[in-house]
A and B are shown apart, each in its own frame.
Chain A
């Protein structure tokens, strides 16, 4: 098992550009999520999904878009990058069924370091 994979590892964007951060897991996990980590602020939830076709907003969703067309993939789209989106982005997954909450250990990807100039 590869676990949770994220691509790219590093990315530099110019203000206004758009891009997609990729996240994939091969553990058949229903729950997937995106967090951003900023200095002194810990990790904050951007968006999450409890199953294919179901997404919802977290604490800091503005400027980001997500979709979940398959169980394996949960891409995060930056619509028009801003310097305030410079951060490290982590994707996570855990087992659980849509409509049935089973809380388990969350598996984190290695992170994507994004810089917006």
Chain B
């Protein structure tokens, strides 16, 4: 079965510290997509990144970086030099479109990040 595990329920860091959010997944297919979403206190879901299973290159976008490792079924998210605006709940999600025939997302339970000024 598909499964997404975000073992860290809550994390608190002091501003300017680096922080890594963990995501481990289980999938039923060899072709799949992984996502990260941010949910700030206002409640909307903000798309951060999508990665397909054939692209294991790490990605960096400003202070954000992602480490995709198929060998350990992990897709971890690092925020460098954290800021108060990074305080949010972060969700990792999995999509298996060729297995399910649809763009359904299966979400982890989320990690609440609090950045203390």
User: Number of residues in A with C-beta < 8 Å to the partner?
Assistant: 29
Query: How many angstroms from the CA of A35 to the CA of B105 in the assembled complex?
Result: 9
Residue of A nearest to B101 (CB): A101
User: Does B66 lie at the interface of the complex (its beta carbon under 8 Å from any beta carbon of A)?
Assistant: no
Known contacts A103-B103, A104-B103, A40 near B109 by CB under 8 Å: yes
Asked if B45 and A108 sit within 8 Å, CB to CB, the answer is: yes
Known contacts A42-B91, A43-B91, A90-B45, A106 near B103 by CB under 8 Å: yes
Residue of B nearest to A40 (CB): B109
Asked if A110 and B43 sit within 8 Å, CB to CB, the answer is: yes
Interface residues on B, range: 20 to 34
Nearest-neighbour CB distance to chain A for B78, whole angstroms, equals 21
Number of A-B residue pairs, CB cutoff 8 Å, is: 65
Nearest-neighbour CB distance to chain B for A52, whole angstroms, equals 14
User: Does B95 lie at the interface of the complex (its beta carbon under 8 Å from any beta carbon of A)?
Assistant: yes
Query: How many angstroms from the CA of A42 to the CA of B109 in the assembled complex?
Result: 4
User: Does A61 lie at the interface of the complex (its beta carbon under 8 Å from any beta carbon of B)?
Assistant: no
User: Does B64 lie at the interface of the complex (its beta carbon under 8 Å from any beta carbon of A)?
Assistant: no
User: Does B104 lie at the interface of the complex (its beta carbon under 8 Å from any beta carbon of A)?
Assistant: yes
Asked if B50 and A45 sit within 8 Å, CB to CB, the answer is: no
Q: Across the interface, which residues of B come within 8 angstroms of A45, CB to CB?
A: 104-106
Query: How many angstroms from the CA of A41 to the CA of B110 in the assembled complex?
Result: 8
Residue of B nearest to A104 (CB): B103
Further contacts, 4 of them, CB under 8 A, given A31-B103, A42-B108, A106-B103: A50-B102, A90-B45, A106-B35, A106-B47
5 cross-chain pairs, A with B, having the tightest CB-CB distances, nearest first: A42-B107, A108-B45, A103-B97, A101-B97, A43-B107
